[in-house]
Amino acid sequence: MRSVSAVNAMQKKACIIVGTLLGAILLALALYRPTPATLGVGFLGYTNGVSGPRFARFGITNQSRITIRRWGHFDTEVRKSRSLAYTQNLGPYVLLSAGQAEVILVPLYREPAATYQSDWRAVFYSSEEDLKTRFDILRNSLTWLPTWLRGRGVHVYGAPSEWMDQ
């Protein structure tokens, strides 16, 4: 039979071990910095608009080591006139695994930046595709939750193309 002091010593050691592990986990979470969802955006050229609408082609590559969510919209920016900047819908989001690429066609017939100005660019947006992103999207979609429980939203990274002179 163990003495009371031996049991207390074992409980003390167990508490120290559990406390050290919890402290290490909390420190790791406090120091964790997510890998940014890095998109490489390149302008591939214009399509010939003789038989139909003219498009600008962009190549987008996931340059990070994680799967990312390329959101289904982009912004156009005009260097000389910020008032022409606006958001255009591309459709649903796309998941890109590490190193995966895609080509996006941007119609220019509705594009005031390309029609009326030169020196414009497109800015595409992405996020890390992980459980936290999915949870944040779900939490923000629950309109019955009080605002203070919805959180601040999903962290989104912008990736601009180079400036284009038409």
Same structural domain, 118 and 79: yes
pLDDT score of 49: 62
Same structural domain, 6 and 51: no
How many Cβ atoms from other residues are within 10 Å of residue 108's Cβ?
Answer: 19
Domain-located, residue 105: yes
Band the pLDDT of 70: cuts 50, 70, 90: very high
Q: What is the CATH number of the domain that holds 141?
A: 2.60.40
Domain count, the chain: 2
- Boundaries of domain holding 141: 39-160
Task: Give the DSSP per-residue string, 139-161.
Answer: HHH-TTS-HHHH-S----EEEE-
* Residue 87 β-bridge partners: 75
> How far apart, in Å, are the Cα atoms of 156 and each of 17, 123, 159?
39, 12, 10
Same structural domain, 58 and 117: yes
DSSP state of 36: P
Same structural domain, 117 and 101: yes
Same structural domain, 19 and 99: no
Mean pLDDT is lowest, of 9-23, 62-76, 96-110, 138-152, for 138-152
Band the pLDDT of 95: cuts 50, 70, 90: very high
Mean pLDDT of 64-77: 89
Cα separation, 125 vs 71, whole angstroms:
6
pLDDT score of 135: 80
pLDDT in tens, 148-157: 666 667 788 8
pTM over cut 0.75: no
Mean pLDDT is lowest, of 13-22, 61-70, 123-132, for 123-132
pLDDT score of 114: 54
Same structural domain, 59 and 125: yes
pLDDT in tens, 37-53: 788 999 998 887 667 77
Same structural domain, 73 and 97: yes
pLDDT in tens, 98-142: 999 999 988 776 655 555 556 788 899 998 888 878 887 777 777
Domain-located, residue 166: no
Task: Assess whether pLDDT exceeds 80 at residue 14.
Answer: yes
